Amino acid sequence: MQQPAPPRRNGLSSLVLDASGAVLRLERWLILGLMALLMVLILVNVATRYTGMPIYWIDEAAVYSVVWLTFVGGSAMTRLRMDFAVTLLTDKLGAGAARVFKLAAGGGVLVFGLAMLWMCWIWMDPVGIARAGFDAKEFAGTSFNFLYTERTQTLNWPTWLLQTILPLFALTLSLHAAANLVEDLGWQPRRRHAGFPSSDAEAVVN
């Protein structure tokens, strides 16, 4: 009996997987870099406090490092299919029904990511700040949006710069969710990801 032809690795679905793979590789390096940065910040904080010469901005820098690490890691885990799932119901269903639930869950993640991206667009309002000539005070006075006038407490960095992780997370989450759906729908074969030995939940369990 003739075997069915494998899915073709071209077209828009292949581009989605390629883009997701490129983002995942970048996220891997970001995760490694942020973990190293966090370790250095904690060690410096401990050492300076022990010597009685604490650096006051270290705590805030460590907090923002954890925030970025959480969002970048969460995005990567979505593509690696290592995000949390409750399988109490799907374990009792047949293969067909379980596949429907899996597709619905993947579609839900994609909808969430796109909705979050849209909300970030409204919140950060790049068109509005551009129309104000990138004058934060003028923009805040007309829109009552003070995002671009706020600064962090000790680092004194622009708050909006650190909060760009939110739209970036929404964008990468949407891309990874779309890539997972492409594979779950059978449009492209499932790919393995170099640099991630445990690339799915089953590998972790085993």
Please indicate, yes or no, if residue 29 is contained in any of the structural domains: yes
Half-sphere exposure of 73 (CA within 13 A, CB side): 12
**What is the DSSP secondary structure assignment for residue 139, as one 8-state letter?**
H
Please indicate, yes or no, if residue 195 is contained in any of the structural domains: no
Q: What is the pLDDT of residue 134?
A: 92
Query: Mean pLDDT in the chain?
Result: 87
Structural domain tally of the chain?
Answer: 1
Please indicate, yes or no, if residue 201 is contained in any of the structural domains: no
Q: What is the pLDDT of residue 1?
A: 46
Please indicate, yes or no, if residue 206 is contained in any of the structural domains: no
For residue 96, give every residue at least 6 positions away whose Cβ sits within 8 Å of its Cβ, in sequence order, or none: none
Q: Which of 48-62, 170-184, 186-200 has the lowest mean pLDDT?
A: 186-200
Measured between alpha carbons, how far is 9 from 157 in angstroms, rounded to an integer? 45
Closest CA to 68 of 108, 41, 98, 100: 41
Task: Identify the sign of the CA torsion 191, 196, 200, 204.
Answer: positive
Full residue range of the structural domain in which residue 25 is found: 11-186
